[in-house]
Structure 1
């Protein structure tokens, strides 16, 4: 089974921490990025989406255009960023430079206050991946954190290492599952 994972496009509101607590819609640029990303794409038989509107709105529109089913899976929502939700990097760094530095030095232990653990993210994304079934290629529309967790699963990487994987807006990753498990087939970096 092949699964393409597509990150949502640019949301309204500029660059800031959006986990599962801030759910801005796609900007006009974000919509254009998404449509461009799926041009000439394979014949997906079904779409599975995060329930967050910056992912789901496009997933539903694409499913309608292609005449295929679109379902949501709450396990595909973005990793919660706790107290940093809605803040820019500059705001976080100005408010607490030490916490900001700790996060970027080690995102596993330097989580923002109230943030979801990366272990929790990986467990729920792994469960969602393992539950995917289909007779043809599937599209998952989700978030950078979800895609990083999926890639880490495929390459048996650590949670700390996965946070160094660049995932651009409307970036696409392809995974394949066979008798040996998940494998990374391709990853766009912009």
Structure 2
């Protein structure tokens, strides 16, 4: 086992939950505890079959039902216990929560525009993206400390939280986190550990990674 000074070759799979009714309606969920749709559960089952092939060593998940139910599909196939942590919840967005995309643009247009420009914004009076990273990334780092060399950790969370966590783990400045595009329902991103730290190997993937062959491997 490796501790904080760790061996190399570990992987982190950051997996977004399956579809909810609010996703379909383009309604901002944040920390609202919305369940998966039947489609979302089917997405989770399909993705779990693929991710089980990576032979994960541990699963940590947000305690919100949409993430917990997604994680449960992988747990059922791998016989791993899921550790739930509220630090992996989606961004709290105050008055934005429950509004559709169009309603947010209509009612909070200036705030929305500032956020899209990369300015630090408390959307709806909620959390800054840096605050989300500050609560979520340590959850991932604590789980990593328990992994064996070459081990794989699956983190089941939410689109915004995953993006900020990737940004933090890669050492990107917060204003560049938006460069990481969003994740589709039940898609995932994979970070691999190398000699100079974490590298983004896959982003918004729905298939298993292929080896990189060529001049940049």
- TM-score, normalised to structure 1, is 0.88
Q: 1:104-149 CA distances to partner (integer Å, 9 max, x unpaired)?
A: 223x433323210111111112211221222331211101122112
- Conserved 8 A contact 1:49-1:76: yes
Structure 2 counterparts to residues 126-145 of structure 1, below 5 A: 126-132=137-143, 133-135=146-148, 136-145=151-160
Aligned residue for 1:113, secondary structure, equals: helix
CA contact (8 A) 1:166 1:189 kept: no
1:10 alignment partner in structure 2: 19
Distance of 1:82 and 1:129 partners within structure 2: 25
Structure of greater Rg? 2
String of CA shifts for 1:64-92, please: whole Å, max 9, x gaps: 33211111122111111111011111111
> Which residue does 1:163 correspond to in 2?
178
| 3-state DSSP of counterpart to 1:173 | strand
Q: CA RMSD in A?
A: 2.0
Give the secondary-structure state (helix, strand or coil) at the position aligned to 2:125.
coil
Indicate yes or no: 2:93 matched with 1:81. yes
Rounded to whole Å, the distance in 2 between the matches of 1:188 and 1:103 is 22
- 1:36 corresponds, among 39, 46, 57, to 46
Farther-moved stretch of structure 1 (174-183 vs 70-79)? 174-183
Deviates further, 49-58 or 156-165: 156-165
Is the counterpart of residue 183 in structure 1 residue 199 in structure 2?
A: yes
Corresponding residue pairs, total: 188
- Once residues 14 and 205 of structure 2 are traced to their aligned partners in structure 1, the CA distance between those partners, rounded to angstroms, is 13
Give the equivalent residue in structure 2 for 1:96: 108
Find the aligned partners of 1:128 and 1:180 in 2 and give their Cα distance: 21
Closer/same/farther in 2, CA of residues 68 and 169 from structure 1, 3 Å limit: same
Q: Look up the match of 1:53.
A: 65
Could you tell me how far 1:153 is from its partner in structure 2?
Answer: 2.4
TM-score by length of 2: 0.78
C-alpha distance in 2 between matches for 1:36 and 1:158: 34
Distance 1:16 1:38 in 2: 26
CA distance in 2, matches of 1:51, 1:68: 16
Q: Go from structure 1 to structure 2 and tell me whether the alpha carbon gap of 1:64 and 1:130 turns closer, same or farther (over 3 Å shift).
A: same
C-alpha distance in 2 between matches for 1:32 and 1:52:
18
**2 CA distance for matches of 1:109 and 1:86?**
22
Which stretches in structure 1 are left out of the alignment for 5+ residues?
none
